[in-house]
Structure 1
């Protein structure tokens, strides 16, 4: 009678009590998954869920449902955070959301010569949704035996508009003073198109090009105004995560390169900077850089090429 009843129930589509309900996931397993979720480590949660599937194959449906709900909640939180960050950027004031670094270096010598020199620079960057603003101020000053032997000032502002992930439009205004190269002031205005050739986690390479207009005021009082073409290159390469300095501090080594070429009918100018940086503490970095400045047609009494090697400390903020 018992077997006949079971067969009849099965034929009628009536589930037996044993098959009617799958056993729930054990409380200990559920507690283990909940604990992993509370850590906020998505990879850890995935590993625990995978282990639970292996240990409790009969509860795979319930485990999959927990995992699906978790992923949906994480996606919702990420979207909310991204929207909040975007709102902060869109509503930021003119003097907000700037980051950058300041650097300073110098030397003093006495004996056969009485010499003092200082090098300072400030770089600022502000990144928005589509716009990016870059500002650079730099200066070198050297005085030997009471005579100024080097006086150089640079001020550059460059806004960029990101057209897509790699293509951007730029504008550039620049002021220079370099009495050693024979000019007391040089102004450049340019605009054009740029492209990110490499955009990876440890290497970035971008180029830009466009027409330019340059006005030069020479030390002897002469002035020239010319149309020109501008070609620029920005390069950053993080070689390794860390190195060890003599004081056993963990450091990050990074090389950076920047080149700016301006061509006109009378004079071609090239400025190229390559540097190596090693962080000392969280915000303090040591930098060794090498600068080449070239003018194809310098004023009388000036040479075409200047090179400067600098060692300086950088504070990031």
Structure 2
């Protein structure tokens, strides 16, 4: 019976069925996958596939490479299907949320949200990212920053080279930025592309329009550079480092986000991240460097 795309109970049943085949742990792969395993992975809903994949690899360690090859095949088939769907369909990714508070001598509270969703076709990747970070101390707001960005990546077959364009809006009142638009177009290179490790770098010209709270507005040309590293440390633990920079003669910006995500159950994961945000020429009274650590829960969409 095929697995229901909406029923997590079906996955548990299949996992129990797999667990009855414990002798597979000691048996080497002899070609092909164990009966039922391919159907299970193909029928799994995308949001649950990582969990099913992890269970399968633990129960059938000799078939890890075959399982990875099958997942790649499933991903390619999904990209081809998404290419023929409406633009609002085929999106997936993660949203995370965290909060903090303190009482007593100091009363403080804060909330942070992050969004990272994408839509992949055989040659294109549409990606929407964003974050919101608010905090107050003793009833006075001391953090107010948020941003929303869109990136389009265009691949060229199996070539590691790609083209991209991006648009971002951001606001950081305590850094003196009332609003800032950044547009970039350029190219990139996929340095590493394996099942466990991905690394890409990009570079291109950029335009930036900034409205400061207490300084003159700026419209400047510059260069944008970026790098993104994803490393699957284990089946349930992932490391990600994202670095972006915009360089211009007036003010250069650098932002680094380091995150460690561990699966808790199904589509729910725990996330710890550290962000360093640097402005070379901030508005009067603002510091060059902002750092913040966050702990939260991440939900795979």
Please report the TM-score for the alignment, with normalisation by the length of structure 1.
Answer: 0.70
Cα deviation 1:212-234 (Å, max 9, x = unaligned): 00011111152101001000001
Shift in alpha-carbon separation, 1:106–1:170, aligned structure 2, 3 A: same
1:1-317 to structure 2, matched below 5 A, reads 42-43=32-33, 88-165=81-158, 166-220=160-214, 222-241=216-235, 252-317=236-301
Alpha carbons of structure 1 residues 85 and 100: separation in structure 2 relative to 1, 3 Å: closer
Aligned residues: 233
CA distance in 1: counterparts of 2:79 and 2:220, whole angstroms: 42
Q: Secondary structure at the match of 2:88?
A: coil
Once residues 142 and 287 of structure 2 are traced to their aligned partners in structure 1, the CA distance between those partners, rounded to angstroms, is: 14
Cα distance in 1, alignment partners of residues 278 and 178 from structure 2? 16
Runs of 4+ in 1 over 3 A off after TM superposition: 81-87
| Displacement of 1:44 | 6.0
Determine helix, strand or coil for the equivalent of 1:214: strand
Paired with 1:202 and 1:285, the residues of 2 have a C-alpha distance of: 18
Rounded to whole Å, the distance in 1 between the matches of 2:230 and 2:76 is 30
2:104 and 2:278 mapped to 1: Cα distance? 32
User: 1-side partners of 2:168 and 2:300: how far apart?
Assistant: 23
The 3-state SS of whatever aligns with 1:280 is strand
Give the secondary structure class of the aligned counterpart of 2:250: coil
d(CA) in 1 for partners of 2:240, 2:76: 33
How far apart, CA to CA, are the structure 2 residues paired with 1:44 and 1:173? 46
Distance in 2 (alpha carbons) for counterparts of 1:293 and 1:85: 36
- TM-score, normalised via structure 2 length: 0.74
Separation in structure 1 between the aligned mates of residue 75 and residue 164 of structure 2, nearest angstrom? 26
Structure of higher CA gyration radius: 1
Report the 3-state secondary structure (helix = DSSP H, G, I; strand = E; otherwise coil) of the residue aligned with 1:88: helix
Computed over aligned residues only, the root mean square deviation of the Cα atoms, in angstroms, reads 2.0
TM-superposed CA distance for 1:90, in Å, is 2.9
Structure 1: which 5+ residue stretches go unaligned? 1-40, 46-80, 242-251
Match for residue 52 of structure 2?
A: none
